[in-house]
Amino acid sequence: MVAALIILGGYLLGSMPFGYWIVRWLKGTDIRKLGSGNIGATNVWRVYGWKLGLPIVLLDVAKGFVPALLGLVYGGQLVGVLAGAAAMLGHWRPLYLRFAKGGKTVATAGGVTFALAPRAAACCLVLWIVIFLVTRYASVASMLTAILLPVFAWLLGAGWPFVTFAAIAAVAVLLLHKANIKRLFAGTESRFQFRRPVRA
């Protein structure tokens, strides 16, 4: 019963569309109509800068971290994995937006990883930053990091529930970046600009 409640709670927490809510509350705009149209932190950061983007990054990470950690503590790694996966599902198809398109789950998956396999998470964070700084493509950094997550998890001795989760999450991240992959091949993917954004 406790495990089921934690998993359900993971979905409900993951469904909280902080990128949409915070932009709506503070700016009075719909982030889905700006930039890439995504509700995730990358799009918010690109449109409004780090002052809005960074809090949303942290909140999206927390959406995965909290249920996964609770699941780990009260039910073991498998429950932690299921609760984290539920949070990712909620972030992708949020209940509070009537199951409309949500985010691409990268930050939320990062939170799950920090809760269940912190050493692998640290490796992936460093890798993401390096790739992002070199390419300035958040999508490339996210996809390559997702691909290598199950490798890091296995090499660093994570249990089979998490390694399996990492492999499935990698596939999910790639599928959710299909449009980015097409734009990369077409040469139309937007590079991240390290400057003050134009206010929308």
Residue 64 belongs to a domain: yes
Residue 128 belongs to a domain: yes
* Neighbour tally for 77: CB within 10 Å: 18
Q: What is the pLDDT of residue 1?
A: 82
Q: How far apart are CA 44 and CA 47, in angstroms?
A: 5
CB 83 within 8 A of CB 67: yes
Q: Find the domain containing 89 and state its range.
A: 2-186
What is the chain's length? 200
Q: How far apart are CA 134 and CA 37, in angstroms?
A: 25
Per-residue pLDDT tens digits for 119-129: 999 999 999 99
pLDDT tier for residue 200 given thresholds of 50, 70 and 90: very low
Residue 191 belongs to a domain: no
Per-residue pLDDT tens digits for 86-116: 999 999 999 999 888 888 888 999 999 999 9
Residue 199 belongs to a domain: no
Residue 117 belongs to a domain: yes
* Percent of the chain residues topping a pLDDT of 70: 96
* Backbone angles phi and psi of 101, in degrees to 5: -60, 130
Q: Mean of the pLDDT values across residues 149-154?
A: 94
Please state the pTM of the whole predicted model.
0.87
Q: Which two tokens stand for residue 58?
A: 């942290």
Residue 195: helix, strand or coil by DSSP? Answer: coil
* Neighbour tally for 152: CB within 10 Å: 21
Per-residue pLDDT tens digits for 35-66: 888 898 888 988 998 889 999 999 999 999 99
Residue 198 belongs to a domain: no
What is the tally of structural domains in the chain?
A: 1
Residue 88 belongs to a domain: yes
Residue 99 belongs to a domain: yes
